[in-house]
Structure 1
Amino acid sequence: MGDMMNEQYEQLTEAIAQGDLATVDAMLSQFMIDALPEDQYAIAEQLMHYGYLTQADDVLQNLLFLLPDEPQLLIDRANVAMELGDEDNALDFLMQVNEEAEEYPQALLALADYYQMQGLFEAAMQRLEQALVVLPHEPLLQFAKAELLAETGRFLEASRLYEELYTQQTHMGGLSLAERLADVYRAGAAYEEALRYYKLALDEEIKPDTLFGAGYAAFQSEQYAYAIKTLEELKELDPDYFSAYLLLAQCYEIEERLADAYTTIRQGLQRDEYDKALYLYAGKLALKQGLIADAEQHLREAIALDPEYMEAIMTLMAFLAEQQQYEAIIELNDTLHAQDFKWTALYPFIAKAYVEEENYTKAAQYYDEAYVDFSEDAAFLAEYVYFLLEEGRRQDALAVAQKLHELQDYVDEWTELVSTLQEEE
């Protein structure tokens, strides 16, 4: 490389590193005329590394004009095209790579990436298997196959490949194989194995995702003390890792540390005031500690975020019923109806509320509609049958009493009631 060419190369390299795109664009055309192919390729690699893909493609296109039979250039252009979202051209480049070329397995790997991006997992696997026939012990291909197996839910097969690779090296392409193994075991619900590898990954590097994975695997393995330790460390490292708060609170609750659980959830809500699951859990924890006003507030906030949040609605309904807040139950139901939300699971609460408010017509409407879904629920039927008797609907009461007798033939009360009602006919 001559002095002038060397200076041009260095200026271009510096402009790329500094993100001076104007200078890069100004220099690139002349550089492609003057520079040797190997220097052009070095610049193309730098452009790809820094994410200047359009400029990298220009250089690679020029190189392919100079070296039309160079398979590596076709593969590089294909990879750049995929990054740019030009999948059709990417496929065209890869199909031009000769099967006899030394780089052919690399082209097959790129083809597998292409098909994987398109969701054509079977085609992707076929390409990887072809490449593995040529290079059966190539770690990069084995890793790519493990990744594809994991993505398609074949966790056991993926773990075997990752395990084999892990005996040879701890990282692939800058990725921790211990962490990969932990994630795939966790995805396959092998939580104790996952935890073992999360611990190894944490020995390599402490990262928020790894800490959460370890905490989750420990929770699922019923190792709550370790889960608490790990999640507290995560909360300290990254206070905005929102998922940690709910899981940590659940650990504290299981350990019967309700105050710590409630404190943790409230800390989470300070960080993320739009997480309906945190409000729901806060409500449940407040109820367990007898914090009645706080519980109701949390539950209502959860529903405000999602007016159709069924679990929160059911929890609030049950809470209001226990507190005998019948007007509040009716108001909540009116609000739900105004939003065109109807859920028959709530109807027993609503029917009971209307009875207590002495609106028997409305109570009958809700009891009758609830009966369709609660015809096997003895507790509901017992309440319903006496409502029907109070309303003078004795024939309907007989049908419900007979159903109760079928469900609980050992209860004398239902036997006697059926007998009495039958005698009246």
Structure 2
Amino acid sequence: MNELLQAIQEGNIEQIDLLLETFLLNSEPSEQYEIAEALMHFGFLNEANRVFEHLQFLFPEEDQIAIDKASVLIEMGEEDEALHLLMGISDEAPEYPQALLVLADYYQMQGLYEVAEQRINEALQLVPTEPLLQFAKAELLFETGRFSEAARIYEELYTIDKKFAGVILAQRLAEVYRAGAGYETALEYYMEALEEEVTPDLLFGSGYAAFQIQKYELAIKQLEDLKELDPDYFSAYLLLADSYAMQDDNVRALKVIKEGIKRDEYDKSFFLFAGKMALKNSQPDEAIGFLTEAIALDPEYMEAILVLMSVYSSQDKYEEIIDLFEQLQQNEFEWVSLYPFVAHAYNINEQFVKAYEIYKLAYIEFKDDEEFLEKYCLFLLEDGKQAEAKRIAEQLVELQPTEQQWLDLLDRFE
């Protein structure tokens, strides 16, 4: 038996096959059951099934063996045979609640959550105080987004034990409160779970919860620790950079997001954030580079396009605005928020017909935007469209009744 256990732990499949037949012929059933559990634990499902078949031959009426064999068969994808075994267990058998739990796990894996919950509730009617059944129900509720119900059960179980089925309950409570936006409570449980075990997910969760309640220094500490523990935990970089930005440390924020880009050069949100941070660090050319990369990853990345247009406008890069807009048109991507930039760019480049077309389109969306109306009015004046300019001037007077230049303009029209 010791040789067989060693072969299982070492993953030596040839040695397992060599020893298993003799072991089944000469060992006690209790030892065989122990080996079957070890084989399951280490993922040797075919071999575990072989042992359970042997035990079932020896004890055909033993329901526990049928349940364990069914669990292995489900893992192997032999679902019909597994369900046949489970359905064959009498509802009066002591093992029946356990059979219901295995059925619930199977239905949950299939996405049949209502059926899974029915099986768990049936088992709970038989043994209402069984913690493992309560834990299974909490897991199902959590997976289906019923966070408050899940939290109530997890809290009750937490008073009994800190772990269930190998799961640290403080972590589950942290996750369920975080999912329900209870970030302060979530953070408390994350910090408690971290006392038991330090994992990348726990560090990220605690950093995220700390960020949400504006504890940016704690968020930075947790995420820096995460970055050191697992440099390829990509989500950490954006949240860490954002935490530095919230502390007005834009230099550090830009440095961190650049590190993230080196790790994951296909995340468009990294490039957008880097572009924004470059702008805050007075590096417009570098910002343009990052924003261009973001749009290359997603040609319809609306936020990145709008920021890039804004940068081009502030830098008087009107040719670039026109090039970007016409490229978007070729891709059949139209977005009215870009029209004010584009109309002004066409006007500056003396493409007055196109400018007029875009201004008219933009007016539908921006007829209450004072800055847009000012530019539109001046364009119409310069283009000799007096009647239209007067109409826009009248709107500006309504929006800015004390602004003298629009009052004077209306007087001139009169």
In 2, the alpha carbon distance for the partners of 1:346 and 1:89 equals 61
- 5 Å-filtered alignment, 1:113-192, equals 113-192=105-184
The yes-or-no answer on 1:300 pairing with 2:292 is yes
Match of 1:274 among 247, 250, 266: 266
Match of 1:317 in 2: 309
Match of 1:358 in 2: 350
Match of 1:72 in 2: 64
Deviations 1:290-335 (A, max 9, x none): 1122111111122222222111111111110111110111122233
Change (3 A) 1:406 1:78: farther
Aligned-partner residue type, residue 342 of structure 1: E
In 2, the alpha carbon distance for the partners of 1:209 and 1:408 equals 54
Q: Report the alpha carbon displacement of residue 40 of structure 1 after superposing the two structures with TM.
A: 3.6
Q: Report the alpha carbon displacement of residue 337 of structure 1 after superposing the two structures with TM.
A: 2.7
Q: Report the alpha carbon displacement of residue 88 of structure 1 after superposing the two structures with TM.
A: 3.5
In 2, the alpha carbon distance for the partners of 1:106 and 1:37 equals 21
The yes-or-no answer on 1:378 pairing with 2:370 is yes
The yes-or-no answer on 1:286 pairing with 2:278 is yes
Gaps of 5+ in 2: none
Aligned-partner residue type, residue 245 of structure 1: Y
In 2, the alpha carbon distance for the partners of 1:88 and 1:353 equals 67
Q: Report the alpha carbon displacement of residue 215 of structure 1 after superposing the two structures with TM.
A: 0.9
Match of 2:195 in 1: 203
In 2, the alpha carbon distance for the partners of 1:65 and 1:337 equals 72
Change (3 A) 1:13 1:351: same
Q: Report the alpha carbon displacement of residue 277 of structure 1 after superposing the two structures with TM.
A: 1.3
In 2, the alpha carbon distance for the partners of 1:132 and 1:419 equals 83
Contact 1:91/1:114, CA 8 A, preserved across alignment: no
Compare 75-84 and 160-169 and name the one that shifted more: 75-84
In 2, the alpha carbon distance for the partners of 1:89 and 1:382 equals 76
Change (3 A) 1:420 1:124: farther
Match of 1:227 among 219, 225, 231: 219
Match of 2:232 in 1: 240
The yes-or-no answer on 1:263 pairing with 2:264 is no
Q: Report the alpha carbon displacement of residue 397 of structure 1 after superposing the two structures with TM.
A: 4.5
Q: Report the alpha carbon displacement of residue 85 of structure 1 after superposing the two structures with TM.
A: 3.0
Q: Report the alpha carbon displacement of residue 213 of structure 1 after superposing the two structures with TM.
A: 0.9
Structure 2 length normalisation: TM-score?
Answer: 0.91
Aligned-partner residue type, residue 322 of structure 1: S
The yes-or-no answer on 1:57 pairing with 2:57 is no
In 1, the alpha carbon distance for the partners of 2:215 and 2:45 equals 47
Aligned-partner residue type, residue 302 of structure 1: A
Structure 1 length normalisation: TM-score?
Answer: 0.89
The yes-or-no answer on 1:254 pairing with 2:246 is yes
The yes-or-no answer on 1:93 pairing with 2:85 is yes
Q: Report the alpha carbon displacement of residue 37 of structure 1 after superposing the two structures with TM.
A: 4.2
Aligned-partner residue type, residue 43 of structure 1: I
Contact 2:117/2:137, CA 8 A, preserved across alignment: yes
Aligned-partner residue type, residue 219 of structure 1: F
Change (3 A) 1:129 1:418: farther
The yes-or-no answer on 1:43 pairing with 2:35 is yes
> Kindly, what percent of the aligned residue pairs are identical?
53
Report the 3-state secondary structure (helix = DSSP H, G, I; strand = E; otherwise coil) of the residue aligned with 2:214: coil
Match of 1:19 in 2: 11
In 2, the alpha carbon distance for the partners of 1:126 and 1:410 equals 69
Contact 2:284/2:311, CA 8 A, preserved across alignment: no
In 1, the alpha carbon distance for the partners of 2:339 and 2:66 equals 66
In 1, the alpha carbon distance for the partners of 2:160 and 2:6 equals 38
In 2, the alpha carbon distance for the partners of 1:329 and 1:85 equals 56
Report the 3-state secondary structure (helix = DSSP H, G, I; strand = E; otherwise coil) of the residue aligned with 1:82: helix
Change (3 A) 1:103 1:391: same
Compare 72-81 and 314-323 and name the one that shifted more: 72-81
In 2, the alpha carbon distance for the partners of 1:255 and 1:201 equals 27
Aligned-partner residue type, residue 288 of structure 2: E
Change (3 A) 1:364 1:86: farther
Cα RMSD over matched residues? 2.5
Change (3 A) 1:376 1:95: farther
Q: Report the alpha carbon displacement of residue 288 of structure 1 after superposing the two structures with TM.
A: 1.0
